[in-house]
Amino acid sequence: MPLAPTGAADPERFPSRSGFFFAESTVSALPLLLLLLLALLAAAVWHDVRARRIPNAVVFPGALAALALHTLLPAGAGLFAAQPGGLGLLSSLGGLAIGLAVLLPLYALRLMGAGDVKLLAMVGAFVGAGQILAVSLFTLAAGGVLALVFAACQGQLKPLLANAWRMLAFTGMTALSGRPLVAAPAAASGRLPYAIAIAAATTCSAFWLRTHGSLPL
């Protein structure tokens, strides 16, 4: 019976260390990816609460980092899966585009600022095209709750509901007639730090993805 050469490893008894090491290092990178996203969201919230604006210095580097991670990391189920991996450049770009498109109508109606739109686009680059719609729905729900809380705290709940009805009328009349029959607000109010809603929805979504692998919607 021939003997194995001295120093040779039996592949059945000693599996490839390179594969094991890579898998282990990829899993260990998960907290770092979460920390990166949380740090970007925290910076956006801080600026939005303090100055009611989200600077490009937060969202642009974040979006570029997400695109690079999805491109350079080995293929996987996403940056926040139990075993993180890249979704590819196209999925990341698709998530960015969808995140941008979701809030553009609200920006066009002057209901929120450009920084909020770009922040959700950055989130889309992180979660990818397959998850950003669910994150967007959670964001809109969180934004509604945030608006009600802020209005109630400031004694402006009734005017808020009146403005919401006015905007619904404006949107519906415009869609039916092709021309605005109800005037839109003159400018964005700038009073609601919408980054809080985006950050809350994105954080919950990221931890859900880590635990369950996909969002429920």
The whole-number average pLDDT for the span 97-108 is 92
Q: How far apart are CA 145 and CA 160, in angstroms?
A: 12
Give the model's confidence band at 144: pLDDT under 50 very low, under 70 low, under 90 confident, else very high. Answer: confident
Q: How far apart are CA 50 and CA 62, in angstroms?
A: 20
Q: Are 44 and 198 in contact (CB under 8 A)?
A: yes
Q: What is residue 76's predicted lDDT score, i.e. its pLDDT?
A: 86
pTM over 0.85: no
Q: Are 122 and 139 in contact (CB under 8 A)?
A: no
pLDDT tens digits, residue range 23-77?
444 445 567 888 999 999 999 999 999 998 999 999 999 999 999 999 999 998 8
Nearest in space to 147 (alpha carbons), one of 102, 80, 180, 193 = 193
pLDDT tens digits, residue range 162-185?
666 666 666 555 556 655 544 544
Give the model's confidence band at 155: pLDDT under 50 very low, under 70 low, under 90 confident, else very high. Answer: low
Ranges 119-123, 158-162, 179-183, 203-207: which has the least confidence: 179-183
